[in-house]
Structure 1
Amino acid sequence: MRILISGASVAGPVLAYWLNRYGFAVTVVERAPALRKAGGHAIDLFRPAMDIIDKMGLIEPVQARKTGTEWLSFRAGNSAHLHELEVGRLMRVVSDRHVEIMRDDLGEILYDSTRHDVEYLFGDSIAAMDENADGIDVTFEQGPARRFDLVIGADGLHSNVRRLVFGAESRFSTWIGAYLAVMSIPNYLGLRDRMDGITGVNRMVGVYGGARMDDARAVFLFRPAAELDYHHRDVDRQKELLRQQFAGLGWEVPRLLGEELDRASTFYFDSITQLRMDTWSRGRVSLVGDAGYCPGPAVGGSTSLAVVGAYVLAGELAETRGDHTRAFPAYEREIGDYVRRSRTFAVGAAKRLIPDTRLGLWGLVQGVRLINHVPTPIARALAGFGGGGLRLHDEITVKYYPQATAMKSAAAPDGERPPPPLPV
């Protein structure tokens, strides 16, 4: 059975890994000419995603490339007083198993684990799809047309597959009140094990380095009064808006928005947007990760959700021997609660991370003091981190998929034996 995956960032390679292990013939198409190394930013993997990474035999390389951030420090407003938070204490409140890693590093690890067993088509993209009773005829922008049994969109928030099958992104996207910008800069502050920054009402800036990074990242989060008017490819306009939103904020902000922004080697700017779809499957096409259910970049744990979603989708396809009419609905049922809870959490996280009043800013400072000085079990209870709070990832139970048997007839190419069972 031939399955085409669009997107080679995180969800795509995770899905490709498991589908290959279950005996499916997998092709991944990626618009970029090579594996993306665009600077990227730090992302978090929480317990359910870490457990899946462990099952893939990748826990050691992931741990080896963790950012090594041990401290968060920030100023409230333009005060000179520095508030510090030990990352380990925060993470023990949030999750029992966690790692922070640069997105590019994670993508490279996942690609290396699949590139010898999965066909990758770089520098190409899906132009059109024609579904019929026997499969999907896919027209590519560059390469020759081919037929696949299923197509999976793992191509991110601005998914091309979703647009082709479900329609314009505007039908499903909901702005949750904030924007995110990230740029690569020289590590002139000499940061290795900490993020340093400043937080004001409706805006915050942080700069961090990493144990394996020669440069640094500057991160901007802000909440304007209304949605901004710009085109997603108009970088000059995005930089202009960033300067407007952070005017008057002290610390290193004037330099960051001056010479560093002008010469930044990479720059990313986007709204913090949720995708809210009633279903992310139609016919022989389904979506995974941000392409189908992005809870909100930087605030919703979208990377962990993408890893879990890819694992579940592959497992359901294996259990049904590739019968998408049963596998896709089962996949949506299994991942649905995690998606809904992540959406709810993301809306609250955006408000907590970027306070919209001075009282909210004061509350943020008090929360840092609470985590610093109260034992972790008490901090979890006092801060309301149980239930639908910050520990939502650790509260997710992921279905176990025993290796399907007799996959040869349903999935493995003729003449090939299905892979051996995975160890439990």
Structure 2
Amino acid sequence: MQNVLVSGGGIAGTVLAHWLARRGFAPTVVELAPAPRSGGQAIDIRGTALDVIARMGLTGQVRAVRTRMRGMTVLDADGTEVHRSTEATYSGGRLDSGDVELLRSDLIGILHQHALEGVEFIHGDSVTALHEDERGVHASFAHGQPRTFDLVVGADGLHSRVRRLVFGPEEEFLRPLGTHVAIFSADNFLGLEDWQVWQRDGDAGYGIYPVRGNRELRVCFGWADDAPAERDPRAARELVAERMGALRWETPRLLDALHRSTDFYADVMAQVHLDTWSAGRTVLLGDAGYCASPLSGQGTSLALVGAHVLADELARAAGRGDGHRAAFERYEDRMRPFVALNQALATENPGGPAAEESVERAKNAISLDAA
């Protein structure tokens, strides 16, 4: 039985661990957070990714917690309505689609509970060093004892530590898209009921939508900026307030909620591009290897599909001493065209959503069953 270290307990890492355990592997998931992460924005599961959820037997659970938006309003800087739609929203696309929008934390909770059997989860720790030799990959951790694994998977996000340790500095692989984002939750002081509100003026704007039975809001600020992300939380909040200061309407109350939020997150919008996703016994998965950015709307789907494909190829190659090499190659051959189409969604229409035709083509551009 091959033991596999999965760095990152998000969507990609958890789904991969589920499939590996059911294919006879012994996965260990190491996650920096002390527990499955809460907070986060609404995410989408589309096209082939829905087939992954179906194969896990989770369709009913996922659809039960989907968002229930009725439409959206677009405002100018003063809060005057300039557009209204009951057919689609910017965050979830067409309301009559079979795709599913739900909170990231809800999906993580469902996936984590489903993957517990046969998977070792270690929370509150992280990989600090990796060294490969003929016996495997020797991993050191911030808190736990060193261990040796047959394979290592970096599923640890845009700023992947595994990618940095094995492939080099992230500056070599990140392609910033000239946009920053900040996300946080707040009480629903606007009284929104299954309705989104979007406001934009020039290079700055935000989207607001209610969640949790309309008890809470998720607020997403965005602005154009070519500078690196501000890593200090206090300075990042001040930067957001400065960038949003020219917007009016309910902006002062939103900024007050920003400073009081306990789940504030901010980062640069970027994609990840590498010539290869594997090196020796280490391979990258999801955002760590091919982040498409939230602007694509397909990060979750890439994570779900990538995890299924990687587990599938590793299972097909199991039993051969160097089978992981062929598995990594087939994983990459199958995924690269799918990744390319989905990354293109983020840049097709700068400042706006990609065409519906492009989304339809990209989300279904792969089969879960190898040829």
| TM-score normalised by length of structure 1 | 0.81
1:391 aligns to 2:360 (yes or no): yes
1:71 matched to 2:40: no
* Matched residue SS, 2:166: helix
Cα 1:384–1:289 change in 2 (3 A) is: closer
Larger displacement relative to structure 2 (208-217 or 47-56): 208-217
Q: Does 1:289 align with 2:300?
A: no
Output aligned runs, 1:135-154, within 5 Å.
Answer: 135-154=136-155
Cα distance, 1:317 vs structure 2:
0.6
Amino acid at match of 1:164: L
Aligned length: 366
Cα 1:256–1:190 change in 2 (3 A) is same
Q: Indicate how the Cα distance of structure 1 residues 328 and 228 shifts in structure 2: closer, same or farther if over 3 A, else same.
A: same
Residue matched to 1:242:
240
Alpha-carbon distance in structure 2 between the residues aligned to 1:394 and 1:118: 29
Deviation at 1:401, TM superposition (A): 5.4
1:76 to 1:397, Cα distance in 2 relative to 1, 3 A = same
How has the CA–CA distance of structure 1 residues 122 and 245 changed in structure 2, closer, same or farther, with 3 Å as cutoff?
Answer: same
Q: Residue 180 of structure 1 contacts residue 219 of structure 1 at CA under 8 Å; is this kept in 2? A: yes
Residue aligning to 1:320: 317
Distance 2:241 2:184 in 1: 13
Residue 296 of structure 2 aligns with an amino acid whose one-letter code is V
* Greater shift in the superposed pair: 44-53 or 68-77: 68-77
Task: Tell me, in whole angstroms, the C-alpha distance in 2 between the residues paired with 1:51 and 1:157.
Answer: 25
Where does residue 60 of structure 1 map in the other structure? 60
Residues 291-324 of structure 1, C-alpha deviations (whole Å, 9 max, x = no match): 1100112434111111111111011111111611
Moved more, 79-88 or 284-293: 79-88
Higher strand share: 2
Match of 2:274 in 1: 277
Residue among 298, 303, 321 paired with 1:301: 298
TM alignment of 1:362-381, pairs within 5 A:
none
- Cα distance change on mapping 1:289 and 1:92 into 2, 3 Å: closer
Residues 343-387 of structure 1 deviation map (CA, whole Å, 9 limit, x = unaligned)? 22111244225xxxxxxxxxxxxxxxxxxxxxxxxxxxxx9533x
Unaligned runs of 5+ in 1: 354-382, 403-424
Evaluate the alpha carbon distance shift between residue 262 and residue 142 of structure 1 in structure 2; reply closer, same or farther with a 3 A threshold: same
CA 1:211/1:34 → structure 2, altered by over 3 Å: closer, same or farther? closer
Q: Deviations over 1:183-241 (max 9, x none)?
A: 111111122311113122222212111244632111112213xx225542x11221222
Letter in 2 for 1:400: D
Q: In 2 relative to 1, CA 94–64 (structure 1 residues): closer, same or farther, beyond 3 Å? A: closer
Query: Can you list the C-alpha shifts for 1:119-146, whole angstroms capped at 9, x where unaligned?
Result: 1111111111111112111112111111
CA contact (8 A) 1:36 1:104 kept: yes
- The amino acid that maps onto 2:62 is V
Alpha carbons 2:296, 2:342 under 8 Å: kept: no
Q: Confirm whether residue 266 of structure 1 aligns to residue 263 of structure 2.
A: yes
Match of 2:99 in 1: 98
Are the equivalent residues in 2 in contact too, given 1:204–1:222 (CA < 8 A)?
yes
CA distance in 1, matches of 2:348, 2:224: 13
The CA distance in 2 between the partners of 1:61 and 1:235, in whole Å, is: 34
Task: Provide the rounded CA distance (Å) in 1 between the counterparts of 2:109 and 2:355.
Answer: 37
1:23-62 aligned within 5 A: 23-37=24-38, 39-62=39-62
Query: Is the Cα contact below 8 Å between 2:228 and 2:268 reproduced in 1?
Result: no
Q: Larger C-alpha radius of gyration, 1 or 2?
A: 1
Q: Deviations over 1:77-101 (max 9, x none)?
A: 4362352222558867599531111
1:85 equivalent in structure 2: 85
Structure 1 distance, partners of 2:123, 2:212, is 30
Say if 1:71 and 1:86, in contact at 8 Å, map to a contact too.
yes
**Equivalent residue of 1:175, what SS?**
strand
Does structure 2 retain, via aligned residues, the 8 Å contact 1:95–1:391?
no
What residue in structure 2 maps to residue 200 of structure 1?
A: 201
Deviations, residues 18-74 of structure 1 (Å, cap 9, x unaligned):
11111111111111111112x211101101111110110011111111121221111
**Counterpart in 2 of 1:228?**
227
**Alpha-carbon separation, structure 1, partners of 2:29 and 2:213:** 28
Percent identical among aligned pairs is 38
Are the equivalent residues in 2 in contact too, given 1:4–1:151 (CA < 8 A)? yes
What amino acid is aligned across from residue 286 of structure 2 in structure 1?
Answer: G
Which position in structure 2 is the counterpart of 1:360?
Answer: none
SS of the residue aligned with 1:346?
A: coil
Aligned AA for 1:395? N
Distance 1:176 1:89 in 2: 22
